[in-house]
Amino acid sequence: MPIQIIPAIARIGASVGAKVLGGGKGKGRNVTLDVSSNAKQVEKRLKKAGKDIDKSMKRALSITAQEGINIIEGRTEDGVGYKGGAFKGYSAKYAKFRRDKGRGKNVDLQFSGRMLGSMTSKADKRKAKIFFTRAEEAKKAAMNDKTRPFFGFNRQEEKQLANVFFRNIK
């Protein structure tokens, strides 16, 4: 269920499709975040600054992916999905279970904090991925994402990520 951030300076777009999680047997959602760019313009900007293009791309993508994680975590903590609107409420049975365990009734997809805590990113000079480090947490995320879509970006967030990318492509 990784989110991929791929540089290629016009707009960032997210697409969602089915994919096997972490090479395992469980199926989940794969969110790809593409950063479309005019490669010549990016290269010109970097050469003007006298920086190594590959190193700058990797750095900018890494920072952009981390900002993507921050966006997902912050929005999820507020109980809002990337498609807009509040998350669907918990079932009565699960709400009672949470209450019995001393947890709040806010729908924030955080019981233990392990699922969102296992979200990380990895970048190279061409792309960055946001993914879950543990298969168990990736499986939870895939199940939660079906009912309460949280693992992705809306257009406003895509623009925010594009700004982060271009601010950091120095």
Give the position of tokens 């709400």: 95
Contact at 8 Å (CB) between 107 and 95? no
Give buried/exposed letters for 111-138 (b at 16+ CB in 10 A, else e): eeeebbebbebebeeebbbbbbeebebb
Sign for the pseudo-dihedral over CA of 2, 152, 168, 54: positive
- Residue 160 clears pLDDT 60, i.e. is over it: yes
Nearest 10 degrees: CA dihedral of 160, 164, 169, 170? 130
Q: What is the pLDDT of residue 24?
A: 42
Give the structural domain span for 105. 3-167
What is the pTM assigned to this prediction? 0.74
**Average pLDDT along the chain:** 78
Q: What is the pLDDT of residue 43?
A: 67
Give the position of tokens 């313009």: 41
Q: What is the pLDDT of residue 2?
A: 60
Query: Tens digits of per-residue pLDDT, 112-135?
Result: 889 999 999 988 888 888 999 999
Query: Tens digits of per-residue pLDDT, 84-110?
Result: 889 999 889 999 999 999 988 888 898
Percentage of the chain lying above the pLDDT 90 cut: 31
Query: Tens digits of per-residue pLDDT, 9-42?
Result: 333 444 433 333 343 444 444 444 555 556 666 6
What is the spatial distance between Cα 89 and Cα 61, in angstroms, rounded to a whole number? 35
Number of domains the chain is built from: 1
